[in-house]
Structure 1
Amino acid sequence: MATDLHSPLPKSATDLFGDPIEDSHPLWLNPSKFSDPEFDPESYISDLRTFVPFDTLRSELRSHLGALKHELVELINRDYVDFVSLSTKLVDVDAAVVRMRAPLLEIKEKILAFRGSVHTSLTALQSRLKQRAQANEAREVLELLLDTFHVVSKVEKLIKELPSVPADWSSGIANSTEKGQLSNGNSFQHAENGTNLRETQSMLLERIASEMNRLKFYFTHAQGQQDGFDYVFTNMPFIENMEKRIQSASLLLDTSLGHCFVDGLEHRDANAIYNCLRAYAAIDNTSSAEEIFRSTVVAPFIQKVIPHSSSGVVGGSSGDELEQDYGRIKQYIEDDCKFLLEISSTENTGLHVFSFLANSILKEVLSAIQKGKPRAFSPGRPAEFLKNYKSSVDFLAYLEGYCPSRSAVVKFRAEAVYIEFMKQWNTGVYFSLRFQEIAGALDSTLMTATLVPYQNSSSNQKYSHSLVLKQSISLMDCLISCWRNDVLVLSCSDKFLRLFLQLLSRYSNWLSAGLNARRSSNANANYGFEWAFSATPDDFLYIIHDLNCLEEEVCGNYLANVLELLKSCPSEVLDLVKHSILQGGNSLKTLRPLVLNSIVETLVKKSVEDLRHLKGITATYRMTNKPLPVRHSPYVSGALRPLKAFLDGEQAARYLTSELRKEVLQSAAYGITQQYYELADELVNVARRQESSLQKIRLGAQRRAGASSDVSDQNVSDTDKMCMQLFLDIQEYGRNLASLGVDAANIPSYRSLWQCVAPSDKQNTITF
């Protein structure tokens, strides 16, 4: 036998000089798991490989395999004699097999015979059980049919017992809409007998309806059971005759019940109406009662309120308005319909299945409006549409007032007629028209080429803060229009909130885009922003004032009015609305720095025009023999004149707060000083470069002439004279800033300017 050279020799279980085999394996290798029925070698190896190297695992498994083979060989050698002599002990095996086969075959034949007899008995028993089940089912059906027959007979007998039934009732012809009341020469001669007769008749009809309900249950149940077996009774004359009798009884019941219900409505007999409604509920025919009430009681009055013909021509004088019509209908409901609504809403009577509000009253009102005043639903005239819509919603709320519970209100709103009525009001188209109207008004105003101040506009009387510019007033008018009573539709409040935010965004974009176009100084490339190029600092003051007013108005009274209108909404919705409006109002704050920057840039640009005169200093002192200057230049007085004129102006005093005034002053002073420093620094640098060039030329000429090069000119240079003049100018400039309330020493560009032109002995101290 070949052995693996890499595997160690297996040890005997009785090896005296080594450990037993079961103890030679490492702790992580448990050979007993190999005999487990659920042993999975792949999962076992994958688990071991997480902490045992593959080579070590393979080596241990091969060692275990060698030990198993060695143990097998030892077992064979130990019992080898018995193994070899096993075949010699098997003597006369074939004869023994023959002796045992005969009784086994006999037992098999008996078992097969018994099995056949049992199967035959079982088949016969199952057949008898099936016949028995069919017989039981047939008996049940026959019993149901007999019960149905008895009930049919009972119903027919009760119908014959109806008091004062005219002949046309028994023939199944209903003339309830043609007759004002039921009359019989024998039974309605006296009023007191009429009331008792109606009540008796209604009670009997209720009983008949109850029996008819039981009759339909029996007959339906009997037909359902016929499908489970082979006997079919539907084609039998008995069944066909019973079906005809049931249909005839149903027709007579419907006709008699309809006449009794109409008679009860005409005489307002509460007991008779109650019994008739219970009868309709018992036979599950609520629609007939609702239709009778609609056609008999509701329709005649609605025809008078909203008259119409087949062509839909309105005969009234109220045009397409519905408010007055709804008022008359409400009064009619209170007078003529309330008694029936109260009966049908009585608790614990089972009459909650009726929906006279939706299927009788609202259905007739909707039909009358569609035929008589179809233009009332048209959103093409927004004002009339909104008025009719609100009147209709108020009418629905009035009808909901007759619902006895919250579940009844939910059921009323889920009715098909209610849904159809609400679909007639296309609020989406209405909002689109209002959107075009409101947004178009603002857009046309913002397209104006100039800023138009309206200080004395009567529109300001509507706001707690007076706006100045026409554009701002138009924005506020449009924002208020979103939530006016004659514009707002509560079901579209989310759309009007979005329109509010869009209006603010449109105004903000108009303002920021105009200011950016002004800063880029490219009017041709920014058509539509001409107002920004023609605006003056005073116009920008109007914008700042209006921004402050708009923010306070939107976040104050405007927000309070909107929350008051939406107070019926959940608190979570109100919080979202409040957050949106506040965010929109606060977004106006981001525009104020842009406007202030435009004011400062304009003032700086005007001041730089005067500061450019300092270039004349070069012509004054270059190549001249003028002495050192002793006073400042005239241009200095005009450098801050635009800023001072703006701050002292009437508009700044009126519209500029102290904080904004200080901010404008600081920003303008810093900007003007920066421009002043850049101009002066350029002037001094150019002068010094020119002086250095001239000095080199002189030295070259002196060398060529043989003059001494160490001869120095004791005279003051032209550059020093220029710097002295600039030094005097910036001192005056610093004094002018101080008169405006600005400390020039705190301006970095002024300190740089001082270092540029001040004499060497005054470099470290700024004094005016």
Structure 2
Amino acid sequence: MAVDPIQTLPPPRSATDFFSDPLDSHPLWFQPDLFLSPNFDSDSYISELRTFVPFDTLRSELQAHLTSLNHELIDLINRDYADFVNLSTKLVDVDSAVVRMRAPLLELREKIEGFRGSVESSLVALKNGLEQRSEAAVTREVLELLLDTFHVVSKVEKLIKELPSVPADWSNGDVNSTEKNAASNGSIENGTNVRETQSMLLERIASEMNRLKFYIAHAQNLPFIQNMEKRIQGASLLLDASLGHCFVDGLEHRDENAIYNCLRAYAAIDNTSSAEEIFRMTIVAPLIQKIIPHGPSGGVVGASGDGLENDYQEIKKCIEKDCKFLLEISSAENSGLHVFDFLANSILKEVLSAIKKGKSGAFSPGRPTEFLINYKSSLDFLGHLEGYCPSRSAVTKFRAEAIYIEFMKQWNVGVYFSLRFQEIAGALDSALATTSLVPVHNSPSGNGSSQDLTLKQSVTLLESLRSCWREDFLILSCSDKFLRLTLQLLSRFSNWLSSGLAARKTGNTGSNSRYEWAASAVPNDFLYSSVANANHSRNMYTYYPWSCSSETDTLHQIIHDINCLATEVCGDYLEHVLQLLSSCSTDVLDLVKQSILQGGKSLNDLTPLAINAITDALVDEAVKGLKDVKAIATTFRMTNKPIPSRHSLYVSGLLSPLKKDFLDMEKHNPYLTRETIKELRYGAATEITGRYYDMVVEIVSVARKTESSLQRLKKGAQRRAGVSADVSDPSVSDTDKLCMQYFLDIQEYGRNLSTLGVDAKEIPAYRSLWQCVAPQDRQNVIDL
């Protein structure tokens, strides 16, 4: 009977569907062919994809692939549906076929198992044979090693006995003095050849001892080696003693061949420290003892002072004369003796020991001047030693030696800088802690040097700044600290000056003792230079009542000092610092330059504050004359004065603090530039005029309001009395007289400004004042 085909799902999209992807399209990372590989492993496949494909994406892709496979399976079944249905009907007598095939398969399995058993037994026998062979090889190797060790020990003992002219008691470290002196004096025939032959033999013994150490390192736990340990130690001690005496003999006679062979022997047995110590005790120590004498207990023997500069000069000569030959031998190219460091472990070690015992005070930073001299001499000495290094790598190795590091640790430059910091910063703090400005009587040289400065505080600052980079103060390794101190000094001075000027302006100087110098200077004290006073007669004080005493400095000098300091810091001082640090990188030099220029800018920023202080002092002194302005209004109001025809007397003294002769740079004050004086005059004149205007405007405004009220009252009284109010009063009012007087005054005031070099028309307050009091026909044109 017919069977209905399997109900299929909608077929996949056609491959010609250009508006959507077919169902069997997959991303590049998804390869279905890998599923058919016999070595396919799902876990490894997923672990590889999880690094760049999310699990959700992988799951959806696998589900889409499964759907595609189901569609394909259904298509295959539908295509061969008849064969699929008849498949079960074609399977006839399957059980009998299985029975027929089972017998040969069982027979084949038995044969395979028998063959496998024979192979496994052969494999076990082969492994046992290989293990026995390996054990035999190891045993043979150990036996050969023991035999070689025995032969080497015997050979070493035999070679030691063959050493020429070597007494038997060398093994105990003692040498018969008669035989040694005979050998040393050359009484033995061909003594040089004997030393050279002896050194060559010792080098050979050392090479054999090196082999022996290698054998012992590989068989040190064996009983045979342990039984030979005494013989080996005896041979080693005898070799060390013989090699030491031969090396000493070669050093005393400067036998280069013998020394070279001995050094190669020491290098072969890896005992470089013994050679370095022998050289130190035999050659270096007696030389240093003569230069820096000291007793065995560390006491000073005949030492004078703790200076090291002369001692280093003598040591350099001794090294050149008595040590250079060995340094040249050990540093010869392709000599194999680079493992020795006689510079550090022999020469520098002995020098350090002698200084500690004989001149321990040389390392003390408690005396900064002597400490710095010794420190720089020591650095020069180390540089001299580095000159014997044949290459840069040798210099690096020399600086990495423990004795070099220990030598540098003796110089506590941190404590030295702390003492210098207290000395330099303390001097400036003491100068700034005074309750008044202290002048120094110098004649300005005009070159920006310390001779130009006029205040002790400024001179102390410049000296402190220069001390930071003086040769007898500076340590280049602490240059960063000295640069920071330089900037701190500039900041300290700037804060002291700016805070004092600000406190003086606000009137808070009495609340802080640091600003007493600003409080002690009354406004009049800022108007004349003490140096100028010293150069003029005492009659000057009677001519200028606002001048200060010779003990009080002025803000004129402060401005001058600020300009000198800023010029010096940003000029020669900066160049000097950059020259000292010329070995630094360009980036470092740029940062140093920017920081110092910023410090100079902080000084320049103080100039406007000082100018404002001078201006305030001048204005405060000048406006005292404005009290007569109000008196004029009272006079016109209380008396029937005629129309004024000349200016008031107070106008002549109003600008007295700004008289040209007073601020004339050539005559009285060489510390202010023409530009500064001009700025001071204009600023003070502007401020005085502004106050003058405020006072006059207020008086005139009150007068006009009063006059207007009186006129209204008068008109009311006339109306009540039946008198016509249209009749105008032909007389000039008091307000008009007052304005006329003020007009004459400001005309004279403007002329006085002109004599000072200040154009009154350029002052806005003066123009407003003119318009306030000038007659109607003259308000638009200022005519002095």
For the aligned pair, the TM-score class normalised by the smaller chain equals 0.7 to 0.9
Confirm whether residue 202 of structure 1 aligns to residue 218 of structure 2. no
Q: Is the 8 A contact 1:632 1:728 kept in 2?
A: yes
Residue of structure 2 in register with 1:216 after alignment:
213
1:692 aligns with 2:729: no
- 2:15/2:22 contact within 8 Å kept: no
Displacement of 1:74 after TM fit? Answer: 8.0
How far is the alpha carbon of 1:516 from its aligned partner?
0.8
Q: What's 2:655 paired with?
A: 640
How many residue pairs get aligned? The number is 726
C-alpha contact 1:280 1:289 (8 A) present in aligned 2: yes
SS of residue paired to 2:509: coil
- Aligned partner of 1:766 in structure 2 is 782
Instruction: Measure, in 2, the Cα distance between the counterparts of 1:590 and 1:634.
Output: 40
1:113 alignment counterpart = 114
Distance 1:566 1:738 in 2: 54
Give the secondary structure class of the aligned counterpart of 1:488: coil
Using the TM superposition, name which of 729-738 and 616-625 deviates more. 616-625
Q: Residues 629 and 191 from structure 1, CA distance in 2 versus in 1: closer, same or farther, beyond 3 angstroms? A: farther
Q: Does 1:27 align with 2:19?
A: yes
Shift of residue 302, structure 1, vs aligned partner: 2.5
**Which of 335, 340, 365 is the aligned partner of 2:321?**
335
Aligned partner (choices 731, 747, 753) of residue 737 of structure 1:
753
Q: What secondary structure does 2:270 align onto?
A: coil
Q: What is the aligned counterpart of 1:431 among 388, 393, 417?
A: 417
Q: How far is the alpha carbon of 1:432 from its aligned partner?
A: 0.1
1:20-52 deviations in Å (ceiling 9; x for gaps): 9516856343311269955899989999xxxxx
Q: 1:65 to 1:567 in 2, by over 3 A?
A: closer
**Residues 185 and 518 from structure 1, CA distance in 2 versus in 1: closer, same or farther, beyond 3 angstroms?**
closer
Letter paired with 1:154? K
1:500-649 → structure 2 map (5 Å cutoff) = 500-533=486-519, 534=521, 535-538=525-528, 539-644=554-659, 646-648=662-664
Residue 336 of structure 1: CA displacement?
2.2
Q: Distance in 1 between matches of 2:397 and 2:591?
A: 30
Aligned-partner SS, 2:172: coil
1:136-165 Cα offsets, whole Å, 9 max, x none, are: 333333333333333333222211110011
**Pick aligned residue for 1:757 from 741, 748, 773:** 773
| Partner deviation per Cα, 1:92-133 (whole Å, 9 max, x = no partner) | 333333333333333333333333332232222222222223
Matched, 1:248 2:234: yes
Larger deviation, residues 157-166 vs 664-673? 664-673
Distance 2:120 2:618 in 1: 118
Q: In the alignment, which residue of structure 2 is the partner of 1:183?
A: 180
TM-aligned CA distance change 1:31 to 1:132, over 3 Å: same
Q: Distance in 2 between matches of 1:144 and 1:261?
A: 32
| Residue equivalent to 2:301 | 315
CA contact (8 A) 1:612 1:679 kept: no
Look up the SS of the partner of 2:14 in the other structure.
Answer: helix
2:293/2:303 contact within 8 Å kept = no
1:40-71 Cα distance to aligned partner (Å, 9 max, x none): 99989999xxxxxxxxx9xxx99x99999999
Query: Please, which of 259, 271, 287 is the counterpart of residue 273 of structure 2?
Result: 287
Q: 1:715 to 1:421 in 2, by over 3 A?
A: same
How large is the Cα RMSD of the aligned pairs? 3.5
- Structure 2 CA distance for aligned equivalents of residues 33 and 12 of structure 1: 17
Q: Are the equivalent residues in 2 in contact too, given 1:198–1:260 (CA < 8 A)? A: yes
Q: Does structure 2 retain, via aligned residues, the 8 Å contact 1:345–1:403?
A: yes
71 and 478 in structure 1: CA distance in 2 versus 1, 3 angstrom threshold = closer
Question: Which of the numbers 386, 393, 408 marks the counterpart of 1:407?
Answer: 393
The change in CA–CA distance for 1:318 and 1:461 in structure 2 (over 3 A counts) is: farther
Find the counterpart in structure 1 of residue 478 from structure 2.
Answer: 492
Question: Aligned residue for 1:672?
Answer: 688
Counterpart-to-counterpart distance in 1, 2:473 and 2:414: 13
Which residue of structure 2 aligns with residue 228 of structure 1?
none
d(CA) in 1 for partners of 2:375, 2:575: 25
**Alignment partner of 1:369 is 2:359:** no
SS of equivalent to 2:605: helix
CA contact (8 A) 1:182 1:259 kept: no
Q: What letter corresponds to residue 32 of structure 1 in structure 2?
A: D
Mapped to 1, the partners of 2:337 and 2:249 lie a distance apart of: 19
What secondary structure does 2:646 align onto? coil
User: Is 1:355 matched with 2:341?
Assistant: yes
Q: 2:222 aligns with which of 235, 238, 254?
A: 235
2:467 paired with 1:481: yes
TM-score (norm 2): 0.85
Percentage of identical aligned residues: 66
Distance 1:744 1:462, change over 3 A: closer
**Aligned 8 A contact 2:13 2:22 in 1:** no
Output the amino acid matched with 1:30. P
Q: Secondary structure at the match of 2:203?
A: helix
Tell me by how many angstroms 1:288 deviates: 0.3
Q: Which residue of 2 aligns with 1:100?
A: 101
Provide the C-alpha distance between the structure 2 equivalents of 1:202 and 1:22, rounded to a whole number of angstroms. 98
Q: Is the 8 A contact 1:168 1:174 kept in 2?
A: yes
Q: Distance in 1 between matches of 2:148 and 2:605?
A: 87
Work out whether residues 452 and 471 of structure 1, in 8 Å CA contact, stay in contact via their aligned partners in 2.
Answer: yes
Distance 1:311 1:699 in 2: 120
> How far apart in 2 are the matches of 1:459 and 1:434?
30
The whole-number CA distance in structure 1 between the counterparts of 2:342 and 2:114 is: 77
Task: Report deviation, 1:594.
Answer: 1.3
CA contact (8 A) 1:544 1:595 kept: yes
> Secondary structure of the residue that 1:353 maps to in structure 2?
coil
The Cα shift of 1:255 comes to: 0.7
Find the counterpart in structure 2 of residue 259 from structure 1. 245
Deviation digits for residues 606-663 of structure 1, max 9, x if unmatched? 1111123211121022254322211111111112111115313777541221221222
- Deviations 1:662-712 (CA, angstroms, capped at 9, x unpaired): 222222222221121111111222222222333333344444445444443
User: Which blocks of at least 5 consecutive residues in structure 1 are unaligned?
Assistant: 1-8, 14-19, 48-56, 224-232
Q: Distance in 1 between matches of 2:179 and 2:674?
A: 91
The answer on whether the counterparts of 1:449 and 1:531 sit within 8 Å (CA) in structure 2 is yes
CA deviations over 1:199-239 (Å, ceiling 9, x no partner): 2111211122122223323443x43xxxxxxxxx84333x3
CA shift in 2, pair 1:578/1:175, >3 Å: farther
- Pairing 1:35-184 to 2, within 5 Å after superposition: 38=31, 81-169=82-170, 172-175=171-174, 183=180
- TM-score norm. by structure 1 comes to 0.86
How many angstroms apart in 2 are the aligned matches of 1:727 and 1:377? 82
Supply the AA of the counterpart residue of 1:739. T
- Contact kept? 2:8, 2:74, Cα under 8 Å: no
Distance in 2 (alpha carbons) for counterparts of 1:406 and 1:545: 53
What is the deviation of 1:289? 0.3
Gaps in structure 2 of 5+ consecutive residues: 1-6, 33-48, 529-553
1:485 to partner: Cα distance: 2.2
How much has 1:425 moved relative to structure 2?
Answer: 0.5
